[in-house]
Amino acid sequence: MASVAYPTPQSQQGAVTVQKPSSTSGLVSWLTTIDHKRIGIMYGTSAFLFFLLGGLEAILIRVQLARPENTFVDLQSYNELFTMHATTMVFLALMPMSAAFFNYVVPLQIGARDVAFPRLNAFSFWTFIAGAIVLNLPVLASLPGTFTYIFQQIVSSVPVLHLPWSQYVPDQGWYAYSPLTAPMFSGKEVDFWVLGIQLLGVASLAASFNFIITIINMRAPGMTMMRLPIFTWTTLIVSVLIAMSFPAVTIGLVLLAIDRLAGTSFYAPYALVNGQLVTTGGDPILWQHLFWIFGHPEVYILILPAFGIISEIIPVFAKKPLFGYGVMVYATAAIAFLGFGVWAHHMFTTGLAATPTAVFTAGTMLIAIPTGVKILNWTATMWGGSIRFTTAMLFAVGLVSQFVIGGLSGVMHAVSPVDTQHNDSYFVVAHFHYVLFGGTVFGLFAGLYFWWPKVFGRMLDERLGKLNFWLTFIGFNLTFFPMHFLGLAGMPRRYWSYGEQSGWWFWNSIASIGALMIAGSILVFMINVTRSMKSGAKAPADPWDAATLEWSIPSPPPVYNFLEVPQVTHVNQLWYDKYGDDHGGQAITPKPLNVIPAIEGDDHGVHMPNPSWYPMVASIGMLLLALGILIPNPHIQVLFLGIPVISLLGTVIIVLGVYGWAFEPASEPAH
């Protein structure tokens, strides 16, 4: 039966029957790749570039706020900066960086040769790039203008550059509340934002289906669900969150686009008819509901991958199995499940009735329980372990400590009277940066330092790494802790400038110094990466004495990942392979790890699917479809619909891409 016989590599039978596709290096090989490892590297690289862009926006914000009544950037630019800082960090930096880890690590952890649908994976990546392009076209156009304005502050003779499209930078805030997005009060910048997020949603949904099926269906023999590495578990749960929450915002954005393009009033209580304001019955609060039904699960989409990463790192560097593995899995699932029932705590100030307010308050507080369980489990894992404070471990422990601060202020916001006081103040800004920076960014850096040797085959420098960590840690606390004080002192978020008499300047200047420190720490990271690439020590297969399967293969892994598909019998399989146990959990004599070296250019006859152009073609179609709506081009009138020519072309390309994809042979026919 096929269901029992697992294929053995053909080389062991002395015959190589299938030629690998010819191009394995060069631009074309990257454009057409469907290898999860390469896609992971591309996700990581682009996420880091967007992290730099979002960071630059943050620095400009902090410089503007460094002293009272500053005019470093103008009012309009400031609105654009905070909108694009948030949108870029959430959708273009943190989510894709998590996706980079999903892509690279998950198939290796479950002993698979790739994800379940490699071409769909490439499509997700290229559609993400298309969405990023749509979102950032106006930003790129406005950068010269922003910089010349800044130089004008120093040298007054510098003229301010205005490029076409630079006026289309989204400025309505990352959650785009109605009526700021109504056609009456906004321009084309909202359309750029709507279509950009829409494309990113398509990319995320496609990726989430792929990872759900990969994890459910591609596990190595013997790897039951309760033997999955914990990072793979969080990937599965995050993918379910994406699949179930993105539809709400997608529909929300569709209605917004229809409001803007066709003149409906889903979010507009008033409409202009022949110069007269008439009531329509539309409700701006509906947008808030649809946005936060997505937006709150999104918070967990951002934080749970980081939780998964440090749940891998802490056991390795404490040399102890994760405390309460099963409880950890259930806690993650509980956070995700409860996360769907608490969205209205973002909307306490909209005037909900008493019952919903009470329900959402209680629901939000409940989430503190599984989250507290996780904190306890990480602490108990370290308890009594022989801890090695590598950079990865420092970032992981940093997450545990910093996330607790953000989590606790989150519990404060669960109480609606308190939230009413904090809402739209810097206290909230402090809270979510402790969660998203102190949580997600710390976790992602921990993951970068942990898996870097596996991905690139070279070690990162530990001394620079520790400098990187401490600069980040101190800079982060300098930047965001004072924001608690500022918020309680009444400073509202999103204010462009503040007066001398406000008393806010001291903590604001401290925060700005902290932001520069964070920038310095990122610079240290980039120096570390450059040095590692040029002269870093070669990484062995298992530099950390780790517990999961990705460390049993060479660094970097060969294209087929596992020459022999691993057999799994235990939850920390690699530790079991190396140390075994005496059935009482005590380690017995260590066994050396048997790594089968990868031979350059030899695929050992492992049958891998071919590269393909079609995923990128379909994504280019998506890009054109969106651009056709955004940029001026002739329209074709079909019945009551005016269809832009470029969008029509995009649709045709999508159809061609999908059909080409479906009818393309999956791999070259065997000889």
| Region of 96-104, 145-153, 169-177, 209-217 interacting with other proteins (CB under 8 A) | 209-217
| Region of 13-21, 161-169, 177-185, 536-544 interacting with other proteins (CB under 8 A) | 13-21
User: Given the complex with other proteins, which of 245 and 425 has the nearer CB atom?
Assistant: 245
Tell which residue, 190, 160, 158, has the closest CA to residue 176: 190
The number of angstroms, rounded, from the C-alpha of 450 to the middle of its chain's C-alpha atoms is: 18
User: Given the complex with other proteins, which of 355 and 501 has the nearer CB atom?
Assistant: 355
Q: Which residues pair with 276 in a beta bridge?
A: 273
Q: What is the DSSP letter of 387?
A: -
Q: What is the DSSP letter of 90?
A: I
Q: Does 33 bind other proteins (CB under 8 A)?
A: no
Q: Does 244 bind other proteins (CB under 8 A)?
A: yes
CB of 108 to other proteins, least distance (A): 13
Four-CA torsion 358, 361, 364, 365, nearest 10 degrees: -110
Q: Does 246 bind other proteins (CB under 8 A)?
A: yes
User: Given the complex with other proteins, which of 138 and 295 has the nearer CB atom?
Assistant: 295
SS3 of residue 636 by DSSP: strand
CB of 118 to other proteins, least distance (A): 6
User: Given the complex with other proteins, which of 6 and 389 has the nearer CB atom?
Assistant: 6
Q: How many residues touch other proteins (CB under 8 A)?
A: 78
- How many Å apart are CA 361 and CA 43, to the nearest integer? 37
Residue with tokens 């996420």: 47
User: Given the complex with other proteins, which of 286 and 387 has the nearer CB atom?
Assistant: 286
Tell which residue, 512, 433, 477, has the closest CA to residue 70: 512
Q: Which residues contact 450 (CB under 8 A, 6 or more apart)?
A: 309, 312, 313, 316, 392, 544
Q: Does 336 bind other proteins (CB under 8 A)?
A: no
Interface residue with other proteins, options 134, 212, 448, 625 (CB under 8 A): 212
Tell which residue, 463, 410, 462, 398, has the closest CA to residue 435: 410
Q: Which residues of 297-329 are buried (b: 16+ CB within 10 A; e: fewer)?
A: bbbbbbbbbbbbbbbbbbbbbbebbbbbbebbb
Q: Which residues pair with 237 in a beta bridge?
A: none
Q: Does 599 bind other proteins (CB under 8 A)?
A: no
The single-letter code of the amino acid at 537 is: A
Q: Are 574 and 592 in contact (CB under 8 A)?
A: no
CB of 283 to other proteins, least distance (A): 4
Q: Which residues pair with 334 in a beta bridge?
A: none
Please report, as residue ranges, which positions from 544 to 573 form the binding site for other proteins (by CB under 8 A).
Answer: 565
Q: Does 198 bind other proteins (CB under 8 A)?
A: no
CB of 288 to other proteins, least distance (A): 9
Q: Does 666 bind other proteins (CB under 8 A)?
A: yes
Q: Does 662 bind other proteins (CB under 8 A)?
A: yes
Q: DSSP assignment of 441-488, as one string?
A: IHHHHHHHHHHHHHHHSBPPPHHHHHHHHHHHHHHHHHHHHHHHHHHH
Angle between helices 95-109 and 230-262 (to 10 degrees): 140
Tell which residue, 471, 404, 478, has the closest CA to residue 434: 404
Interface residue with other proteins, options 37, 78, 100, 114 (CB under 8 A): 114
Binding mask 56-95 for other proteins (x = CB under 8 A): ----------------------------------------
Please report, as residue ranges, which positions from 273 to 292 form the binding site for other proteins (by CB under 8 A).
Answer: 279-283, 285-286, 289-290
Please report, as residue ranges, which positions from 354 to 383 form the binding site for other proteins (by CB under 8 A).
Answer: 355-356
Q: Does 118 bind other proteins (CB under 8 A)?
A: yes
CB of 482 to other proteins, least distance (A): 35
Q: Does 331 bind other proteins (CB under 8 A)?
A: no
Interface residue with other proteins, options 112, 302, 328, 620 (CB under 8 A): 112
Q: Does 210 bind other proteins (CB under 8 A)?
A: yes
Interface residue with other proteins, options 293, 460, 547, 627 (CB under 8 A): 293
CB of 297 to other proteins, least distance (A): 11
User: Given the complex with other proteins, which of 153 and 217 has the nearer CB atom?
Assistant: 217
Q: Does 245 bind other proteins (CB under 8 A)?
A: yes
CB of 544 to other proteins, least distance (A): 27
SS3 of residue 362 by DSSP: helix
Cα dist from 122 to 13, 43, 196, 208, whole Å: 32, 10, 18, 13
Retrieve residue 362's tokens: 């209680």
